[in-house]
Structure 1
Amino acid sequence: MARIGVLSVSDGRGHVHERNAAFIQSKLDALVSALTRAGHQVVTGAAPLSDNALAVSVPREIAAAGVDVTVFHYPVWSFPHFSVLAADATPGPLVLLASTDPTEPGLVGMLAAGGALDQIGRAHVRLWGAPDDGEVIARIGVLATAAGAVAGLRGATFGRFGGRPMGMNTAVANTDQWMRQFGIDVEEIDQYELVSRAADSAHAAEARQAREWIEAHAAGVHYDGRKLTPELLERQLRSYLAIRDIIAERNLDFSGIKGQPELTERFATMDVTEAFLNDPYDWNGPKPVHVTATEADMDGALTMQLMHRLSGDPVLFADVRHYHADRDIWDLCNSGQHATWYAARSADPKENLRHVNFYPEVFFFPAGGASVQHVAAPGEMTLGRLTRHNGEYRLQLMLGTFENYDEQTTAELVRQSTPEWPHAFARLDVPAETFLSRFGANHIHAVPGDLRPELRAAAELLGIRLEEWTRG
């Protein structure tokens, strides 16, 4: 959950503030209690802002505590210039919250402060209601979660293994723009580094252990003696171990691997590597998700990292492969990293892996290796992507559901595209004509649940245009 700063703003007249102090404290206590019950960590001001000095010192203390968002709380009439001073001392996202208790003019105080902040161009969100109002608490939580995710992007490093894949312009972003707009640095890493390290015999024992773990728990490992052999699967696993080492050495926060065509034609595909990097576990047990985009898709990785920071879950990466118009469903299918977690979305890797098959790679990839095949488990999903239009970022966003079908129907559907690859059958809350006419990439990303409120807030904090689609 989020880390939220809360300070109360009061009247600058000493005798009025003294008269209101107990009332302010009672409302503050109720607000803090409600936020804490919702799972947030709350940092409160040492005292209400009742003079110019406190209007600077108290907010600075809250800002120094590293909060995700600061709430200016207005239970009573308050001097507006206290809020202006406090806003200058708290550079992060700001919420003005007015008490609607009619015995005191809290709404008046918020409106006066909000107008003053408007005049100086200080962005803020205005809320009003009882301090324990569930809707108010939820909206503060959404903004704080979004603010924490956005702040977490700044100072991050993206590891870009290889360059532009197969002429795919949408996979390449301007590194200057990333630093300016998101605070993210890009570390360029040649794919030879991966190949060289994967050949290191130091990883041989663990790669063998990993192969045996997969063989023991997967639905099947379908060796064919040519495109998929135990040796090729171990090569893919050594690639995972090599990238894991590079991530630790270079302090990478998220990554992308070009793969095509060099690795897929002369070494091995990165499907297994990417799947387990995105998973919250491997054969050693639970581990942090390391968001990794196939085809070194920078904007795809950025979307995934934002969604992951908002939800804590692995994020799906897929091509928009096919639209089944007769069923109004989309086949989201890509040879890259559908994390195995999506097979059942279980905390138990064995439960997920029993739905996962490792098939020999198809003709696209002569170097061979295993593709990580499964059908994503059903449920409500938020889908979207950060895309660019004329050099400016936009967030294209929609809600949908993943669906599962009977065995015969599933087999018929997967056979129509590439059965050896992972599939997610999605019903999107957007007309096909709208989606196909306007979506700005071939890759799409998804995360469980309805994350649209948090993503809307994140887009606003990032200064990114929101393009949200529904059937309405």
Structure 2
Amino acid sequence: MARIGVISISDGRDHVHARNADFIQGKQDALVHSLKEAGHEVVVGDELVATNTLASSVARKVAAADVDVTVLYYTVWAFPHFTMLAADATRSPLVLVASTDPTEPGLVGMLAAGGALDQIGRTHTRAWGAPDDRELAEKISVQATAAGAVSSLRGSTFGRFGGRPMGMNTAVANTDQWQALFGIDVEEIDQYELVLRAERADAAEARRGREWIEQHAAGVHYDGKKLTPELLERQIRSYLAVRDIIGERHLDFSGIKGQPELTEHFATMDVTEAFLNDPYDWNGPKQTHVCATEADMDGALTMQLLKKVADTPVLFADVRHYHADRDIWDLCNSGQHATWFAARSDDPAENLAQVNFYPEVFFFPAGGASVQHIAAPGQMTLGRLTRDGGEYRLQLMLGEFENYDAATNKVLVDQSTPEWPHAFARLDAPGEVFLSKFGANHIHAVPGDHRAAMRAVARQLDIHLDEWSRES
């Protein structure tokens, strides 16, 4: 969870503050307890702010603890210039929180402070309620979660294996813009490095990985040509190679071009990308590492934010087809869906029992396995960062993954590419709106409704939110 700073702002008159101090402290203690109960780490200001010097010094100490978000708390009338000084002493996002206890004018203090911040253009959000109100804690949690996701980008490194794939402009971003807006550095890595490392990778581990897949998967469909044990081990060695490069170069997330060089002369990266995005491999549980196929930079960036917000693996898919008669979208890519999405279980065996490894199709002469399954049903948050005239926007919507009986699933997958993974999605956005306005061919998803946190992400990044629903 997030690290939250809490600073209580008071009245600047000595006699008034002396009267109010115990009241403020009691409310602050209750709020801090509520936030800790919600799972957050809380950094509390070492004094109640009742002077201009304390406003700056207390805020600096809280900021030095590297908090994700700072709560300025108003339980009484508070001098607004204390807020201005405290805000100037921290760069973290601000949440102004007012107590709704009618015995003291906390709401007045918050509104006066918020208006002053508006006048200087300092972005903030506001919340109000009793300090032990779960709904208030949730509102603060949403802002803190978003702030943690945004702050995690700064100082991070994206590893781009290869360049632009097949002329795909939406997969390439301006590295200067990334550095300026998100604080992300881009490490360029030639795909030849991947090939060299794969050839030298541990053959025994590659064999162990292949045997683990053969043991747990629904099927590994060797055909003696496009998919052989040797080709599957080459894909696993590619995973080992990329994993080593990630560790050596301290990459936080990455993308692999793949097409056409690797897919025509070496092997597809589907197995590599699927297991990087998975929370496990044959060695047991591990941290997920966001890896986007076709080195899609904005796709990987979207996935990294969604991962931080939802704390789950993130789906990467093409918007392959719209079944207008069913109002269902087929989100299908060339095999890189994390196997976790097959059942969304903590037990990899449950997920892999729904996964087939099929020989690659004619697009990819080098062969290898595609990682095929149908995503498990459930509510999903879907979206992507896209650019309009060079300016970033977050395109966001809610949806539902659906699964059907075996016969219906077969009819649907056979209409596109049955060897690839599919997620059948009913989007909370009209088909005409989506196809007219969505700014890329790739889309991303995580389980649950995380729209509130993603809205906060857009606000904190100061980028446009383009949210769609049936009502909009």
TM-score class, shorter-chain normalisation, is over 0.9
Distance 1:336 1:63 in 2: 44
Residues 418-427 or 22-31, more deviating: 22-31
Residues 72-81 or 295-304, more deviating: 72-81
The question of 1:363 aligning with 2:347 is answered: no
Task: Give SS of 1:239's match.
Answer: helix
Q: Which residue of 1 aligns with 2:79?
A: 79
Identity %: 78
Which amino acid is the alignment partner of residue 46 of structure 1?
Answer: D
Task: Give SS of 1:155's match.
Answer: coil
Q: Which runs of structure 2 are paired with 1:95-114 in the superposition (5 Å)?
A: 95-114=95-114
Distance 1:336 1:292 in 2: 13
Q: Which runs of structure 2 are paired with 1:409-428 in the superposition (5 Å)?
A: 409-428=408-427
Q: Which residue of 2 aligns with 1:388?
A: 387
Distance 2:464 2:425 in 1: 25
Q: Which residue of 2 aligns with 1:335?
A: 334
Shift of 1:114: 1.5
Q: Which runs of structure 2 are paired with 1:72-471 in the superposition (5 Å)?
A: 72-200=72-200, 202-471=201-470
- Tell me the number of residue pairs that the alignment of Structure 1 and Structure 2 aligns: 471
Which amino acid is the alignment partner of residue 167 of structure 1?
Answer: G
CA deviation map 1:192-230 (0-9, x unaligned):
000111111x41110000000000000000000000000
CA deviation map 1:153-187 (0-9, x unaligned):
01110000001101101000000011011100110
Q: Give the conservation status (yes or no) of the 8 Å contact 2:145–2:309.
A: yes
Q: Give the conservation status (yes or no) of the 8 Å contact 2:276–2:291.
A: yes
CA deviation map 1:27-52 (0-9, x unaligned):
11111111111111111111110112
Q: Give the conservation status (yes or no) of the 8 Å contact 1:154–1:184.
A: yes
Q: Give the conservation status (yes or no) of the 8 Å contact 1:316–1:446.
A: yes
Shift of 1:80: 1.2
Shift of 1:401: 0.4
Shift of 1:134: 2.1
Shift of 1:119: 2.0
Task: Give SS of 1:418's match.
Answer: coil
Distance 1:121 1:388 in 2: 24
CA deviation map 1:62-89 (0-9, x unaligned):
1111111111111111111111111111
Q: Give the conservation status (yes or no) of the 8 Å contact 2:335–2:372.
A: no
Shift of 1:258: 0.4
Shift of 1:303: 0.4
CA deviation map 1:277-325 (0-9, x unaligned):
0000000000110100000000000000010011110000000011111
Q: Give the conservation status (yes or no) of the 8 Å contact 2:382–2:398.
A: yes
Q: Output the TM-score relative to the length of structure 2.
A: 0.99
Distance 1:414 1:322 in 2: 10
Task: Give SS of 1:341's match.
Answer: helix
Shift of 1:12: 1.1
Q: Give the conservation status (yes or no) of the 8 Å contact 1:318–1:336.
A: no
For structure 1, the 5+ residue unaligned runs are none
Shift of 1:132: 1.6
Distance 1:343 1:115 in 2: 49
Q: Give the conservation status (yes or no) of the 8 Å contact 1:394–1:466.
A: yes
Shift of 1:118: 1.8
Q: Which residue of 2 aligns with 1:37?
A: 37
Distance 2:310 2:83 in 1: 32
Q: Give the conservation status (yes or no) of the 8 Å contact 1:178–1:185.
A: yes
Shift of 1:385: 0.5
Shift of 1:261: 0.4
Task: Give SS of 1:48's match.
Answer: coil
CA deviation map 1:262-289 (0-9, x unaligned):
0000000000000000000000000110
Distance 1:325 1:466 in 2: 27
Which amino acid is the alignment partner of residue 107 of structure 2?
Answer: L
